[in-house]
């Protein structure tokens, strides 16, 4: 099981101005796997990730997660599924300016069904793991760009997601912190048996992936499979 994509297509516009961005994508990401997706700017990587995450409609093809064709369900049910089953990490942190750091995470946990107490305990644990234990009660305006992104990364883990979708999640981090965070993402995916798909141009992070795909001219192909590596975190 895991993520399975068959002949996925996406076009924008109609008639003479129609542009086909995705021209029949076929790929799989197994449970416990982290796959990196790379390609030139404008190749459709973010479009593909948005469709998989249920944020953008597809033109054709099939997408299933653990044998569930989840994109065809009612919008209300899809919203609930995204909240409880998918963790998103974007280039921008998208933190809520009037909420303290711990509340940014706890809110997601409560929306996913945790009690307020359990949500805050889990939020505190995750933030301490990523080196932000001293920032629990801080507001976003006093955080550095790297700190904001680390908060966003841990927020994605609050709902113990079945699938993690990340778009350049380490872009605002320095080299040392980027590799540490990448190790945490990979290890969490393995421990939780989640599906992980990440867009990144940072070649320093490629060794953390189980496989690397390249998106070019609307098509995707496997580039290489990495050897099994020992987890960075125990």
pLDDT tens digit sequence for 42-85: 889 999 999 999 999 999 999 999 988 888 888 888 888 888 88
**Residue 147 in domain:** no
Q: What H or E segment, with its residue span, contains residue 122?
A: helix 116-129
Specify the residue for token string 């801080």: 138
Residue 217: the pLDDT is: 86
Assigned token pair, 169: 């999640």
**Residue 123 in domain:** no
What's the order of all strands across the beta sheet hosting 60-65? 19-30, 2-12, 60-65
pLDDT tens digits, one per residue of 113-170: 899 999 999 999 999 988 899 999 999 999 998 899 889 989 999 988 999 999 998 8
**Residue 134 in domain:** no
Domain extent at residue 221 = 2-93+164-225
Residue 148 φ/ψ region, left for φ over 0, alpha for ψ in the -120 to 50 degree band, beta for the rest: alpha
**Residue 230 in domain:** no
Give the global pTM. 0.86
Q: What H or E segment, with its residue span, contains residue 51?
A: helix 45-52
Residue 225: the pLDDT is: 60
**Residue 39 in domain:** yes
CATH number, domain containing residue 42? 3.40.50.300
Torsion of CA 54, 29, 207, 91, to 10 degrees: 0
User: How would residue 233 be classed by pLDDT, with cut points 50, 70 and 90?
Assistant: very low
**Residue 109 in domain:** no
In this model, does residue 22 exceed pLDDT 90? yes
Residue 95: the pLDDT is: 93
**Residue 101 in domain:** no
Q: What is the DSSP letter of 93?
A: -
CA distances from 91 to 68, 122, 145 (A): 28, 24, 11
Burial class (CB in 10 A: 0-12, 13-18, 19+), 12: exposed
What's the structural domain count of the chain?
1
Residue 228: the pLDDT is: 52
Closest CA to 86 of 103, 102, 63: 63
pLDDT tens digits, one per residue of 167-208: 998 887 888 888 888 888 898 899 889 999 999 988 889 999
Residue 141's CB is within 10 A of a number of other CB atoms, namely 9
**Residue 213 in domain:** yes
């Amino acid at each position: 099981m895991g993520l399975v994509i068959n002949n996925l297509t996406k076009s924008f516009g109609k008639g003479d101005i129609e542009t086909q961005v995705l021209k029949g994508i076929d790929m799989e990401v197994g449970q416990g796997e982290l796959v990196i997706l790379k390609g030139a700017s404008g190749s459709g990587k973010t479009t593909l990730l948005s469709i998989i995450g249920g944020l953008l409609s597809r033109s054709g093809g099939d997408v299933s997660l653990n044998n569930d064709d989840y994109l065809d369900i009612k919008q209300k049910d899809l919203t609930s599924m995204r909240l409880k089953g998918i963790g998103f990490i974007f280039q921008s942190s998208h933190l809520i300016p009037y909420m303290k750091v711990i509340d940014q995470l706890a809110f997601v946990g409560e929306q996913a069904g945790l009690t307020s107490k359990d949500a805050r305990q889990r939020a505190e644990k995750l933030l301490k793991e990523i080196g932000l234990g001293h920032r629990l009660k801080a507001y976003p305006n006093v955080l550095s760009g790297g700190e904001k992104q680390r908060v966003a990364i841990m927020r994605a883990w609050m709902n113990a997601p079945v699938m993690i979708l990340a778009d350049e999640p380490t872009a605002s981090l320095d080299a040392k912190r980027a590799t540490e965070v990448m190790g945490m993402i990979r290890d969490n995916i393995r421990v939780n048996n989640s599906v992980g798909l990440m867009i990144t141009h940072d070649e320093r992070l490629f060794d953390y992936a189980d496989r690397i795909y390249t998106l070019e001219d609307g098509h995707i192909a496997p580039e290489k499979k990495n050897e099994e590596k020992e987890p960075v975190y125990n």
